[in-house]
Amino acid sequence: MKVDNCMTRNVQVANPEQSIREVAQIMGKLDAGVMPVGDHDRLVGMITDRDIAIRGVALGKGPDTKVRDVMSPEVKYCFDDEDVEHVLENMGDLQVRRLPVLNRDKRLVGIISLGDLATSGEAAEAGEALSDISKPGGEHSQTAH
């Protein structure tokens, strides 16, 4: 199966100059825990509700703090025409639960989550990826920054 068949489309993008309060409110309305961050049609990072809590609030930053101050600037992504098995393996290796999805022109076309993959018939593979993702530490650990 290809990523295009199970990804979430119509993804809202945060701006690095927005406040974390605004982005948290958007996340609440969307019932989402992550948003890609874009600047002038370019993907420049990802921000999660955990980034806001750990890199923002826990460090004493206020609600008017800019997204760029708490986001993860490294962007790992996948392509919409990739096989989901490959993407699941990458998610496990990278220890991430979600990836932005780009087309081959490098335009954001969606986001894919471990949950999307688990509910689309890839439950066993998603379980293996979750096992890898859940190991302590890793490049995307909040304490590594």
Domain boundaries, the chain: 3-134
Amino acid at 63: P
CB 142 within 8 A of CB 96: no
CB 27 within 8 A of CB 35: yes
pLDDT at 130: 54
Helices (DSSP H) in 37-136: which residue ranges? 49-51, 84-94, 114-118, 123-133
pLDDT digits (tens), the chain, 145 positions: 899 998 999 899 999 999 999 999 999 999 999 999 999 878 999 999 999 999 999 999 999 999 999 999 989 999 999 998 898 888 888 888 899 999 999 899 999 988 787 776 554 455 555 555 455 655 545 454 4
**Residue 58: left if φ>0, alpha if ψ -120 to 50, beta else—which one?**
alpha
d(CA 35, CA 14): 6
Distances (CA, A) of 69 to 61, 65, 124: 9, 7, 37
Distances (CA, A) of 130 to 8, 79, 90, 95, 125: 19, 20, 11, 8, 9
pLDDT at 125: 53
pLDDT in tens, 88-120: 888 888 888 899 999 999 899 999 988 787 776
Dihedral pair phi/psi, residue 47, rounded to 5°: -130, 135
- The mean pLDDT of the chain is 85
**Beta-ladder partners of 78:** 101
pLDDT at 140: 46
Fold for the domain defined by 3-134:
CBS-domain (3.10.580)
Token representation of residue 124:
């066993």
DSSP letter (8 states) at residue 31: T
